[in-house]
Chain A
Amino acid sequence: MYSAYLIWLLLIPLILSLLVFAVRWLGRATRRVVEALHLICVTLVLVLSLVVVQGVLVQGTVIALGNWLHVDSLGAIFVLIVGLVGFLVGLYSISYIRNDLETGEFDNAKMSIYYGLFSLFLFTMLLVVTSNNIIMMWVAVEATTLGSAFLVGIYGKRSSLEAAWKYIVICTVGIGFGLYGTILVYADAVNVMQEPRLAALWTEIVKNAQALDPALLKLSFVFVLIGFGTKAGLFPMHAWLPDAYTEAPSPVTALLSAVLLNCSLFVIFRFSTITNLGIGPAFSQTLFLVFGTLSVGAAVFFMFMQRDIKRLLAYSSMENAGLIILAFGLGGPAGIAAGLLQLLNQSLVKALLFCTSGNILIKYRSWNLDKVRGMLQVAPVTSLILIAGALALVGAPPFNIFVSKFLIISTGMQVGYAWLMIICLILLMVAFTAFFRVIGSAVFGDKPEGVVRGDVRAFSLVAPLAILLIMILILGLYMPPQLATLLNGATSVAMTGNSTSQVAGASFWQSSPALPTGLIQAEAFFAPLANLLPWK
């Protein structure tokens, strides 16, 4: 039954995207029709993604189309992110794009292109996280670039075209490397399995991972990490990221940062499972630690130099990608679980903050601190959301990222990377300073002349932010049992490739020596909150 829902989850955004492109010639009615179709699309994607996640909770995996589509606990977390963030950001888009229509940045044709590409972009990302065929997964990742390049450059200005060009060129080259990694794994699998039709399926490859050629596995993983790491914005392949994030319309940036970045990491995780099962985890973990630390370090350095709020957030996405990879590099169930939790948490916070940056743009027509001042006077609600979001992002309690950052650092200490964790803590503190220097300057002070007092009022500019903020707070204080089950299962999938999530996941937590000790510390620290932690 869930298989049909999974197929519809992919078909709906694809069909509605084509419909949106088709109705652009309706004349005056275009706007209403397109907006209605868009809302139907993001709502259905949310509902269907929740149903598919429910399917994973009930039966462990949801498969369709002869096992070409496959969602296990790991995939379910990403499907959930696409559905949830896609819906909230989609809702936010309505008023944001209406504002662009009023200011003349957009006309009806551009609006139709925007909404059509939005749905197409959702479709391509859903295809990435539901593909079981590794080559199709690559095709889908490349399609995400193609679907989003026009969205990045949609304003057609000098700077946005430049950003779109860098984005498509650098990512196409990067993804080319990813293709090589993928082909090498496939060719190796065919050699071992003698059954070409099965050799492309991730679930089959992991079963035969130990028979794969070790040298090829290493070579392919390096290609995969460079290739898909480019899309995730890992250092030193990040050059496109700050430009594309800054120049894209804010809802698109929210999707790029909160969803697409995760999709690229998802592919890397899928391949690291194959590599780890084949040659042991040491090789991928070393690469993760190196790329993770370098990305965090480089991002923090750039963050410190920023005077542009959105660009600061862009570099912070790079920092988070680095941190997640770093957590995976720590290894063991604790590191992987902490990394996945950080991934989910940062998605929600980034969606919140990039949408907030959209509200700032609506009020100030800029993100530069030379122009953005006195936000508390001009837009008090937006500035409070900005402060809360920034606190959440830097890892202050009681917000969600505090829990995941704490778990990453304590796991690192547990597994013997104390020195690396100290470096990380210093870097995170520098990031904290960078953030509050910028946010403080934007929020306080006198408002510049020409900026009218009065916050944004439109429902869809405020409601998604409120929902995101509530979720961020809840996840900081409480872990829903369903999410804990998914995280347990996903950790198990990432380590063993085994999709029978609940059974294997549960036994993992019991058998892991690193986790309980790490969590005893965490629990001692949280004291009153300890009972709410999922893995107590």
Chain B
Amino acid sequence: MLSVSINEVNSLCGLLIITSLLVIETKKARWSAMFYSFQSLVLVLIFLSLAVLMQANQLYLWAASAFVTKAVLVPLILYRALSRVEEAEMPKNAMSPVVALLIAAASVAVSFIVVDQIQIKAVAPFKPALAISVAHFFFGVLCILTQRNIFKQVLGVCLMENGAHLTLALLAYNAPELVEVGVATDALFAVLIMVTLGGQIYRTLHTLDSSDLTTLKG
């Protein structure tokens, strides 16, 4: 019988934040897609560990669907889209690694404070994991707000969704399966539609820089 400890789950969650920094800070955009795939694998591992730990069989299914959509399909979609763009035309990263690190630390700190308010017995041992999942969500939001590269903004959405997905797994793993299917499908379609729109913007406006999108104001 496979044994997993709560600490292992919490450390795996810590690894999520590190992979997020890699996704955002890597200079080559295509590498971010690969780092994202790596991060999703970590998420799959967390789902599997939680499945063992909480004896929640549904989470095996979640792990399988996360593997297909997040570790394979989404990175493939992103990689293909990014391959069509000249590396030289990519806008520079708006966030320096130091700033990104500080923001990540701040999101974790704030999330720990927020999560501390949650008084649900079943979740008590996983509070660090829960806090990190919330922090991951906020880190994704901050990426979207600070990144100029529209594909990096898509990755921000992906990070956000991974955080939300982990929260969902911790708090709502026993929800009906259809719910998880719905959430995962939405996430996949969101990326697909954003990438298609991003591609259209690149072809029509010849830019990937969201700060160039300034026709509409007031």
Contacts and interface: CB of A to CB of B under 8 A. Distances in A.
A262 B189 CA distance: 24
A183 B218 contact: no
A110 to B, nearest CB: 13
Contact of B157 (A169, A197, A305, A311): A169
B216 A243 contact: yes
Interface stretch (A156-164, A202-210, A285-293, A496-504): A156-164
A275 to B, nearest CB: 16
Interface string B149-193: 010010001001100100110011011101100110110011001
A183 B157 contact: no
Interface in B33-58: none
Contact of A215 (B119, B174, B175): B119
Most central of B121, B123, B216 by chain A CB within 10 Å: B216
Given A156-B200, A168-B197, A247-B216, A186 B171 contact: yes
For the side of the interface on B, what is the size category?
Answer: 35 or more
B179 to A, nearest CB: 4
B189 A190 contact: no
A139 B172 contact: no
B118 A158 contact: no
B105 interface: no
B194 interface: yes
B186 A133 contact: no
A267 to B, nearest CB: 15
Contacts of B197: 149-150, 153, 161, 164-165, 168
Contacts of B185: 139
Interface residues of A, number: 52
Contact of A176 (B137, B189, B198): B137
B120 A187 contact: yes
B141 A196 contact: no
Interface in A159-197: 159, 161-166, 168-169, 172-173, 176, 179-180, 183-184, 186-188, 190-191, 196-197
A509 interface: no
B162 to A, nearest CB: 11
A213 B171 contact: no
Contacts of A149: 193, 197
B138 to A, nearest CB: 10
B122 interface: yes
Interface in A215-230: 215-216, 219
A150 B122 CA distance: 42
Given A158-B205, A168-B193, A180-B167, A197 B176 contact: yes
A179 B164 contact: yes
A300 to B, nearest CB: 15
A434 interface: no
A176 B160 contact: yes
A203 B108 CA distance: 35
A136 interface: yes
Contacts of A180: 134, 137, 164, 167
B201 A165 contact: yes
Contacts of A186: 171-172, 175
A127 to B, nearest CB: 10
A283 to B, nearest CB: 15
Contacts of A153: 197, 200
B106 interface: no
B64 interface: no
A158 B171 contact: no
A200 B183 contact: no
A190 B172 contact: yes
Contacts of B157: 169, 172-173
A60 B54 CA distance: 41
A139 B179 contact: yes
A188 B120 contact: yes
B114 interface: yes
Contacts of A157: 204
A132 B148 CA distance: 39
B91 to A, nearest CB: 14
Instruction: Identify the 9 closest CB pairs spanning chains A and B, nearest first.
Output: A139-B182, A187-B171, A196-B174, A162-B213, A243-B216, A135-B179, A142-B186, A159-B215, A191-B120
5 contacts: A136-B178, A139-B183, A169-B144, A186-B171, A200-B176
Interface of A: 133, 135-136, 138-139, 142-143, 145-146, 149-150, 153, 156-159, 161-166, 168-169, 172-173, 176, 179-180, 183-184, 186-188, 190-191, 196-197, 199-200, 213, 215-216, 219, 242-243, 246-247, 302, 305-306, 311
Given A139-B182, A176-B161, A188-B120, 17 more contacts: A135-B179, A139-B179, A139-B185, A150-B193, A158-B215, A161-B204, A162-B205, A165-B201, A165-B210, A168-B197, A172-B160, A172-B194, A179-B183, A183-B172, A190-B172, A196-B175, A196-B176
